[in-house]
Amino acid sequence: MRIPNYAKQAAREALELRKTLPKSKQFGLSEEEANFLGITSGVKRAKQILRNYRLSKSDQKAVCSFYQRFKGKSTPKVEGAIKLWGGRKFGREVCSYIKQQS
């Protein structure tokens, strides 16, 4: 699946905003925090979205799973984390794409 420009823009904006926030207000886990917990980092995912042209099948499933967990939830930290993963529109698109492929 091709990664659209709007997803790259959302990830870029989230990374830039995250840098300006104090640690207590930052959204998403750093790569170090995520590695400690054994999960994927939103910061790592944002960097992946920015540098890649396509999303692998396993990454598509991870993105869709992430969006399903936060569907209907909205706090500043949740919104920031979702932007790290490409934004809500990208999450819906990935989940829809997976459904079409099955």
Q: How far apart are alpha carbons 62 and 16 in whole angstroms? A: 23
Q: Considering its fold, how many domains does the chain have in total? A: 1
pLDDT confidence of residue 24: 85
pLDDT, tens only, 10-61: 999 999 999 999 888 888 887 788 888 777 788 889 999 999 989 999 999 9
> Domain range holding 18?
5-101
Residues paired with residue 54 on neighbouring β-strands, in sequence order: 2
Q: Looking at the predicted structure, is the pLDDT value of residue 63 above 80?
A: yes
pLDDT confidence of residue 96: 96
Among residues of the chain, what percentage have pLDDT more than 70?
A: 100
Integer angstrom CA distances of residue 52 from 4, 21, 59, 77, 92:
10, 26, 12, 25, 19
